[in-house]
Amino acid sequence: MKITIIGTGYVGLVTGACLAELGNDVLCLDLDANKVAILNNGGIPIHEPGLDVIVASNRANGRLKFTTDIEQSVAHGDIQFIAVGTPPDEDGSADLQYVLAAAKNIGKYMHGFKVVIDKSTVPVGTAEKVSKTIASELQQRKLDTASFSVISNPEFLKEGAAVEDFMRPDRIVIGSDNDALGLKAKAVMKQLYAPFNRNRERTYWMDVRSAEFTKYAANAMLATRISFMNELANLADRVGVDIEAVRHGIGSDPRIGHSFLYAGCGYGGSCFPKDVQALERTAREYDQDLLILRAVESVNDHQKQVLGKKVVARFGADLTGLHFALWGLAFKPNTDDMRAASSRVLLQELVSRGATIAVHDPVAMDEARRVLALDFAATPDQLAQIHYVKHPMDALDNADALLIVTEWKAYRSPEFSQLKAKLKNPIIFDGRNLFDPIDMADAGIEYHGIGRSV
């Protein structure tokens, strides 16, 4: 099938590469000429395990191409995926300017029947806006407006496991209209996703608005679980309970399940924070106050400050002259994505109190340099308090404590005797609960986890 992907970011690039891998002829469009040049030169603009291999092999066999040419890209695909960003507006609602700009371009250049797929995470009612935008362009061109149908097909992949998630989806959600054009589009979608449904039907067919809502409901549910566990962990710290034991104890109930129950220093990334906000905003538009989601968001804002607060409780409010090691900058392991990462909140807190910090991340250091330069644009002196080191153990030299923000595998089993020898004080503040407090006590390390004050 001939497919165009509009927006070649995390979702667009993974979608394009995986659909090419399945034998489709894919053209990916992006307005960012630099990104397209990197891809056309054989590079990958993001760190995502396994993506480089399938991008390279499908470029080589000619099934995957990249362009900045809008007209050519609209002409290419009978299927047009919209996978552009939907960042938060000033009021927290999803900013649809990129989605509607993509829709406008489709209407401006399309000929013949097109299936237009909203892959971006968009609020209820967006498919109707995309339809109207395309139709209005077609009207201006005096072309038949009954020549396309908009499908909602939200994406559920996780960064760091994106290729695996896309290739082995636990479900495919497709919202379509029930008119003649909708049914025609539905048949195209059936054919497109047939390879995923061979052993077991994974597609959930529904109306467009319900599909749009399903995406927000899924992210909001997951964010709620995390904030709930974080709140319990904070209480566990006060009452002398190990939240990790509790996690096992409740997760073994199949009605609860083990996933997404890890307490920590808050959820980050491009999606949970913005999608929780956007759903709250949608509710407000319809005169409903989503009380739970407001609490989820505020617990998370608080949780991103928890490590900083523990450091202040231990060392005092003035951290001048103190030096810390920080392991992990990305918002989660296996990605270089720094969007809404907890490390950014912690670094602000520590440097504004006068500390210096040696930081390490296996892949996110370049991205960290870029985003931290923006975070500290008004206070360049504070930016100079952050030093980057190439090896995690190098960060420990003379540090008053080690802080862990991202649970990279490389941090899970350090040589504790070496770690103790390098640190000035054998103290760990662990934002991801990597170690057992009893082992730490045995090793003579003062350990501050999240909800692990047994």
Minimum distance from CB of 148 to ligand UGA (Å)?
26
Q: How many CB atoms lie within 10 A of CB 373?
A: 11
Nearest to 341 by CA among 386, 395, 407: 407
- Among 16, 35, 227, 247, contact with ligand NAD (rule: CB under 6 A): 35
85 binds ligand NAD (CB under 6 A): yes
Nearest to 130 by CA among 158, 155, 94, 157: 94
Stretch that binds ligand NAD, among 24-32, 54-62, 144-152, 176-184 (CB under 6 A): 24-32
- Residue 255, annotated as binding a ligand: no
Nearest to 4 by CA among 125, 139, 158, 109: 109
Angle, vertex CA 83, rays to CA 185 and CA 50, nearest 5: 110
Q: Token pair 């009021």 is at which residue?
A: 91
Stretch that binds ligand UGA, among 127-135, 155-163, 249-257, 380-388 (CB under 6 A): 155-163
Within its chain, how far is the Cα of 123 from the centroid? Answer: 17
- Residue 10, annotated as binding a ligand: no
Looking at the Cβ atoms of 122 and 445, the one nearer to ligand NAD is 122
36 binds ligand NAD (CB under 6 A): no
Minimum distance from CB of 400 to ligand UGA (Å)?
25
Residue with the shortest CB distance to ligand NAD: 9
Q: Is 271 a catalytic residue?
A: yes
118 binds ligand NAD (CB under 6 A): no
Angle, vertex CA 360, rays to CA 423 and CA 384, nearest 5: 90
- Residue 381, annotated as binding a ligand: no
Q: Which two tokens mark 17? A: 């590469």
Selection from ligand UGA, ligand NAD, none that 35 binds (CB < 5 to 8 A by kind) is ligand NAD
Looking at the Cβ atoms of 259 and 320, the one nearer to ligand UGA is 259
- Residue 260, annotated as binding a ligand: yes
Contacts from 19-25 at CB under 8 Å and sequence distance 24+?
Answer: 19/192, 20/54, 20/58, 20/63, 20/64, 21/54, 21/57, 21/58, 21/167, 22/195, 23/63, 24/63, 24/192, 25/1, 25/63, 25/76
- Among 268, 362, 426, 449, contact with ligand UGA (rule: CB under 6 A): 268
Looking at the Cβ atoms of 151 and 428, the one nearer to ligand NAD is 151
- Among 104, 158, 369, 420, contact with ligand UGA (rule: CB under 6 A): 158
Minimum distance from CB of 32 to ligand NAD (Å)?
4
Minimum distance from CB of 237 to ligand UGA (Å)?
16
- Report the distance separating Cα 36 and Cα 73, nearest Å: 13
With 0-12 CB in 10 A as exposed, 13-18 as middle and 19+ as buried, what is 259? Answer: exposed
- Report the distance separating Cα 171 and Cα 174, nearest Å: 10
Q: Roughly how many angstroms between the first and final C-alpha of the chain, as a whole number? A: 58
Give the full edge-to-edge strand order of the sheet including 64-67. 64-67, 25-29, 2-6, 79-82, 114-118, 148-152, 172-175, 203-206
Amino acid (one-letter) located at 313: A
- Among 76, 304, 332, 344, contact with ligand UGA (rule: CB under 6 A): 332
Selection from ligand UGA, ligand NAD, none that 326 binds (CB < 5 to 8 A by kind) is none
Selection from ligand NAD, ligand UGA, none that 213 binds (CB < 5 to 8 A by kind) is none
Instruction: Give SS3 for 361.
Output: coil
Q: Which two tokens mark 81? A: 């995926």
- Among 7, 12, 269, 431, contact with ligand UGA (rule: CB under 6 A): 269
Selection from ligand UGA, ligand NAD, none that 267 binds (CB < 5 to 8 A by kind) is ligand UGA
Looking at the Cβ atoms of 107 and 328, the one nearer to ligand UGA is 328
Looking at the Cβ atoms of 146 and 217, the one nearer to ligand UGA is 217
- Among 20, 27, 130, 222, contact with ligand UGA (rule: CB under 6 A): 222
x/- string (CB under 6 A) for ligand NAD, residues 2-21?
Answer: ----xxxxxxx---------
237 binds ligand NAD (CB under 6 A): no
DSSP code of 392?
Answer: G
Stretch that binds ligand UGA, among 81-89, 171-179, 236-244, 262-270 (CB under 6 A): 262-270
Full DSSP string of 288-355? ---HHHHHHHHHHHHHTTHHHHHHHHHH-S--TT-EEEEE--SSSTT----TT-HHHHHHHHHHHTT-
Q: Which residues bind ligand NAD (CB under 6 A)?
A: 6-12, 29-32, 35, 83-86, 98, 101-102, 120-121, 155, 157, 159, 270-271
Q: Which residues bind ligand UGA (CB under 6 A)?
A: 121, 155-159, 219, 222, 226, 260-262, 264, 267-269, 271-272, 331-332
Catalytically active residues, by annotation: 271
